[in-house]
Structure 1
């Protein structure tokens, strides 16, 4: 039981010679702090000492408060009058780092990482990507403005220490992922998982994963890496993996299946992937583990199914329709909104060709030496670029060009607009057609995760590390940051504010560093109304004050020297 502070106060007020004796005690070879309230009396020509109370079970903050109260116990208002004894200054930002740390603990991330120094540094890099994403050097400088040391209990560190922490978290990634997985689901493991891949461009060409490939970022002239993300059906990330930049989507699939089977101990689950992810080879890999799949067919596969008579065109309506053939279930639907969008897009492309032909005809008329063959090539090249080759042709009559539309080809091209077929081998008793349709649509959760990680909120890209382990660590840190971001987004959904704006608002809550004599602490003011709402939604209560460790963060690379150069 905590020492009764009120009784102690009654005892010490009867004398003027009471003080706090701070020392240590050794128990079984271990040294512990020892705090005693002592009384000094003058008796029979000598000083006599008496212990009034043992307050060793009090926190350091309480001990400091008692020591300060004893110093001014005659008149506590002297604390305020003695202005030379009190000094206040603006302290570090505390609101964002404290709230994000609380979220990381609630999600089990802090526990999964552990309590080592590398774990704490890794956690700071995770939080820093949400507060103000940047390089390792930027993370160090961010800690000079935010109370990362006092909240997370860090020692002095620089960018080299953060690189060391990246090496550590990469080597421990599988253990951390499994800890998070079991903490979140326990024995009730999900039965449906979503998987998708993306690419991320690189600055420079020295990254060990760097290679040329299909660049989803549309960043010309940049090598890239490929990233695979595995989530549950609600979009909560489970595992992330990095591949060389020239890796095709389907080649990333097998490792994720084996991870679910062997590392996470999942049995009889269904993996959801888009039409380019799960093909015949991937279905064989799933069959080896007795897993199921949910995917979609390509347009050419839909046409084959129509020719075979497996499905019929009239079955495509706004309502779901299911056909089963040879153990495979096909869920059919036509999205009228998407059909209209595709038709409008096609018409806009054809109008672009018409305008180009008009421009070329005007040029041919005004420039008698211009070659018709050159104008034809220009139009044909644009037709190919807009994927209109089967539908549109350009012909010349004298020095005039004309567009010819193949009506038959246009009808064949448009009759499947907005139509899609979802394919699965999941038994009927494991999921209805509505469930299967919904789970396939849930792939948008993975796409949203990628967009968020690659946006300004977390900045997965550009990647400014070179070594393979650190590239994997960078992606893993970004994934853990996204888990926290998703939590904040869910908690703040009823507040008219984005996650970025919310974190920025919390970052404005700064400590006030108060020094009274030799005693120094960080006092936390009451937040504004919007800050209180954000904290309340996260169930966060900021303390009135936190300790002041006096640890000074410094970078190895000095900005002053860089400016002089």
Structure 2
């Protein structure tokens, strides 16, 4: 960081601009380049202030020497946190998010909400409180704001979502757009009743009595999210698929595309939609469909025992495999559940024998409830005769079920010369990356719920904020993979790096804040991202406060 004087001549007059600048390294396709950026225009500052800043920068690594030169009592006070926000801002610049979202007030507030999601999850109100602990005004250059400003920024983000996704897609892939996309759907339950998109539907979170929203996430072949959509809580998974086909074809301009979805996502209607768009698909078929094909002679059970096997039927390719580890897990789980049910029935039999007046029907009913809860009703029958409860196993049906343990069949219309069966198999397994994104966004680090919003636009904006935060998190996770630190731990450590405010004889030292040299553990986090930690920051006045605190602040003035 240094002071740069720029002279320019207009006619007979010579003008001088005094700028506080810093050097940074920008990585690109052809290596890295050293560039410079302006942090603050000091032209209108008094010369004494500029000289003080120059002196401070010269001795920034040796504050005792600076105190000796000043010959005055110097007071150092810890300022706002800098480290985490500095890193997140540079990662946003690497991804191009800062330019894509823009530097309008709404854009800067959205950028802060994305960063706040990574630092400390919560509501818009908590993001306002968090901004008072981090150097948001100094680094982002945003004017003071309240939670109402953040809600309005979510409305704006919802309106701009399509445009931002298109620009981000173009920035990430350029002319080399991916030809394979992964798509999956999840739901997120709501705590309140007033959300405009909330409705009753199939709840994957197993939360009874809770309304929900449905979220569809579209990722590229490497698991990078490219689009997210929020649907009403009663939307069927299949109905969300058409919107993503349309988006991929029209907004992203992709033509040769293969969509990968699980067995519940791509069915006959969706296959027709893909054909109309000129797209291909990779999906799986259900166990009943496998049994039907076995009974029709299209498939043979022995084919599943190969490492990978391919069968073509009516122009459709089926890739077959049995996972022995999964087969053992299923068999063990089933056997354990049957034993638990039998033990429970024996317990009830002992109780009935010891209590002759006990109601045997109620005891049997409890065993039925246990049977349903353990999900063994298909191959187990529970009866009661002469006050003895019997659990009978349907051996023939159980053997039929065991035959398909660990078996799965993938289905695709891709030609073998373009996608061998190994490629089809590997691409379907890539769906785990979408599931990982959902786990991180729903219940992991980013915690999409609770939503703390009611309006449709703000719900969509909130989920989009989480998706953009996940993009940043992926980059941090890749960079810190070898440092034995999680992203959450890394950001928590970086938040301990704070700016320093200085006073000389009770007076603040101009328009700058100094930043101490980070300790080795923090330096490694910066180094892994090839980011240079700041040594000084421009001081900006203004407080970020919640709406409730503003009236009391005004009265105190």
What is the TM-score with the length of structure 1 in the denominator? 0.86
8 Å CA contact retained: 2:53, 2:510:
no
Query: Quick check: 1:546 aligned with 2:537?
Result: yes
Q: Which moved more, 1:126-135 or 1:371-380?
A: 371-380
**CA deviation after TM superposition for structure 1 residue 57, in Å:** 13
Which of 455, 459, 480 is the matching residue for 2:447?
459
Distance 1:103 1:35, change over 3 A: closer
SS at match of 2:76: strand
**Structure 2 gaps, min length 5:** 20-37, 57-63, 553-557
CA–CA separation in structure 1 for the residues paired with 2:530 and 2:193: 45
Instruction: Check whether the contact 1:513–1:520 (CA below 8 A) recurs between aligned residues.
Output: no
How far off its partner does 1:514 sit?
Answer: 2.2
CA–CA separation in structure 2 for the residues paired with 1:346 and 1:57: 64
SS, match of residue 78 in structure 2 = strand
SS in 1 for 2:305: coil
In 1, are the aligned partners of 2:18 and 2:41 still within 8 Å (CA)? Answer: no
The runs of at least 4 consecutive aligned structure 1 residues that moved more than 6 Å come to: 2-5, 25-28, 61-65, 69-72
CA distance 1:27–1:558, change in 2 (3 Å): farther
The residue number in structure 2 matching 1:60 is 42
Within-5 A mapping of 1:275-314:
275-314=263-302
- The RMSD of aligned alpha carbons is 2.9
CA distance in 2, matches of 1:133, 1:71: 40
Q: Greater shift after overlay, 385-394 or 506-515?
A: 385-394
Change (3 A) 1:496 1:559: farther
Residue 122 (str. 1) matches residue 113 (str. 2):
no
Q: Does the 8 Å CA contact 2:18/2:42 hold for their aligned counterparts?
A: no
The answer as to 2:86 corresponding to 1:102 is no
Q: Does the CA-based 8 Å contact 1:318-1:335 persist in structure 2?
A: no
Note closer, same or farther for the CA distance 1:477–1:415 as it changes in structure 2 (3 Å cut): same
Equivalent in the alignment of 2:371: 383
Q: Which residue of 2 aligns with 1:497?
A: 485
**Which range moved further: 544-553 or 190-199?**
544-553
Question: Which aligned pairs between 1:191-270 and structure 2 lie closer than 5 A?
Answer: 191-270=179-258
Asked if the contact 1:198–1:216 (Cα under 8 Å) also holds between the matched residues in 2, the reply is yes
Would you say 1:534 and 2:516 are equivalent positions? no
Matched with 1:512 is 500
3-state DSSP of counterpart to 1:396: strand
**Distance of aligned partners of 1:186 and 1:57 in 2 relative to their CA distance in 1, 3 Å threshold:** closer
Helix, strand or coil: the match of 1:519? coil
Deviation, 1:479, is 0.2
> Residue 14 of structure 1 aligns with which residue?
none
In structure 2, what is the Cα distance between the partners aligned to 1:122 and 1:337? 46
Are 1:207 and 1:466, in contact at CA under 8 Å, matched by a contact in 2? yes
Which is further off, 286-295 or 57-66? 57-66
> Distance between the aligned counterparts of 1:114 and 1:58, measured in 2?
19
Distance 1:496 1:358 in 2: 50
Mapped to 1, the partners of 2:550 and 2:283 lie a distance apart of 52
Q: Cα 1:495–1:559, aligned 2, differ >3 Å: closer, same or farther?
A: farther
The reply on whether 1:134 has 2:110 as its aligned counterpart is: no
Q: 1:275 to 1:4 in 2, by over 3 A?
A: closer
| 2:53/2:512 contact within 8 Å kept | no
C-alpha separation between the residues in 2 aligned to 1:136 and 1:328?
50
| Partner in structure 2 of residue 370 of structure 1 | 358
Q: Indicate the structure (1 or 2) with the bigger Cα radius of gyration.
A: 1
Q: How many residues align?
A: 518
Q: Distance in 1 between matches of 2:4 and 2:498?
A: 33
Name the CA shift for 1:406/1:455 in 2 (closer, same or farther; >3 Å): closer
